[in-house]
Amino acid sequence: MKKIILVLVLAALGYLLFWPVPVEPVAWQAPQAPALDGAYAPNDRLAGVIRLAEGEGTGPEDVAIDALGMLYVGYDDGRVVRFDARGENPDLIADTGGRPLGLDFAPDGTLVVADAVKGLLRIGPGGQIDVLATGADGVPFRFTDDVDVADNGKIYFSDASSKFGPAMKARDDVIEHGGHGRLLEHDPASGNTRVLLDGLQFANGVAMCARQDCVLVTQTGSYNIVRYWLSGDTAGQHDIFLDNLPGIPDGISSNGTDTYWVALFAPRNALLDAMSDTPFLRKMAFRLPAFLQPQPAAHAFVLGLDQDGNVTHNLQHEGPDSFHPITSVEQHQGTLYFGSLMQPAFARMPLADAAGSAK
C-alpha cells in the first residue's frame, strides 16, 4: 500500500511540475491592491438591480441602445437580439455564428460588433452581416473584445489576446501576462485597420473620451486603464489614466459628458497577485483542476470616474445572489444598464440610485 501511495504522490508531483500547458508565464510585479475602504468601501447599491430578459440567453456581455431606446445584446450562442425599452419582446437581429461581445452603434445606425471568434463585424438594418476586419499588421484577431465608435465614424476596438482565443478563456492570457493584447482603429471610409497600441495585458473595454481626442482601454491583466491620444500635441502617445484598480477591469464606457463607467469583473485575487513574480507557481496553478485554481469572488462591482480619473461612484453588491460578474455598464438617459459574461440576463437600475455614491 505504501508503494502505491508513493507512486501516486510522485505521479501527482510530476504532473504539477512537468505536464505541458499552453501558457508560458512571464514574471511581473503586481502592485499591492488598494484596500476596499474609502472610495472603494463595500456597499449594497447594486442589490436592487432589475434583471431583464431572464432566461432568453446566456452571457449578454454588453448592452447597446439605439436612437429609439431599443436594447441590443449578444449571447454566447452567437445571437444578437433586440428588446424593447422594458427588456421585453425579443427580436432576433442576426446570428454571427461566433461570440458577440462588445456592441456599439455607428453614426449611420448600423450596429458594430466585436465578435471574439469572427472579428470586427457590422450588422445592417436588414440583419445582413459584413466583416470589417479579421486581423491587422499580418496578425489575425484571436479575441476581438470591445468596441466604441467615434462621432466621425472611426471604430476603436480591442483584440484582447493575439495568442489565446475565447475557447482558451481570458484566464490563460492573464496567467501568462505575455502582452498579447492590442488597441486598434478601423476606418470604414478607407477599409484600413491600424494598430494603435500593442503589448497590452488582455486589452478589454474600450471607450472614446468625451471630447473625442483620446480613447481609453482597460488592461485586465494589469488592473489599469490606458489612455491613447488621438489629436493635439500628444497625438500618438499614451499614458496611464488610472492605475492599480481594486478589481479586475472589464468593460468601460463614457456617458459622453462627465463620467466613465468601469465594470470590475471581481475584486483582486490576493493569491494571484502574490504569484505575479513567480512564473513557476503560476504554471503549477494552471495545471490544477479548475475548482482548485484562484477563483473570482461573487461580487458585483462598478466604478464611476470623472474626466481626470477620480472616483465619483462606487457601486457594489457581494454574494451569490448578486448580479455578477458585471462586464459592461452603459448609461442611457436616466438609467444604467449592466451586461454580464455569465448571467442569463442583463440588468438595469435608475441612475439616481448611483448619485453621490463615492465617499
Q: Assess contact for 351 and 335: CB atoms under 8 A.
A: yes
Tell me whether strands 203-208 and 192-200 are parallel, antiparallel or unpaired: unpaired
All domains of the chain, ordered by start, with CATH? 44-354 (2.120.10.30)
Helix 279-287 to helix 2-18 angle (10° resolution) is: 120
Mean pLDDT of 14-24: 59
Return the pLDDT at 38: 96
What pLDDT was estimated at residue 9? 45
Residue 323 has pLDDT above 80, yes or no: yes
- Is the pLDDT at 161 greater than 60, yes or no? yes
For residue 8, the model assigns a pLDDT of 45
Structure confidence by residue, pLDDT tens digits, 52-87: 999 999 999 999 999 999 999 999 999 999 999 999
Q: How confident is the model at residue 167 (pLDDT cuts 50, 70, 90)?
A: low
Of the given ranges (117-121, 251-255, 354-358), which has the lowest mean pLDDT?
A: 354-358
Q: Is the pLDDT of residue 354 over 50?
A: yes
User: What pTM value is reported for the model?
Assistant: 0.94
For position 152, what pLDDT does the model report?
A: 97
Per-residue pLDDT at 358: 63
* In contact, 302 and 48? CB cutoff 8 Å: no
Mean pLDDT of 98-120: 98
Identify the pLDDT of residue 5: 59
Rounded CA-CA distance 47/50 in Å is 9
Average pLDDT for 135-152: 97
Average pLDDT, the chain: 93
**Between residues 9 and 258, the one the model is more confident about:** 258
pLDDT band at residue 99 under the 50/70/90 scheme? very high
State the pLDDT at residue 4: 62
**Contacts with 336 (C-beta within 8 Å, 6 or more apart), sequence order:** 261, 302, 329, 330, 348, 349, 350, 351, 354
Q: Is the pLDDT of residue 19 over 60?
A: no
What does the pLDDT average to over 31-49? 97
User: Quick one: pLDDT at residue 250?
Assistant: 98
Which residue shows C-alpha cell 431572464?
54
Side-chain-facing half-sphere of 157: CA atoms under 13 Å: 37
Distance (Å) of CA 121 to CA 62, 103, 124, 227, 254: 15, 10, 10, 24, 22
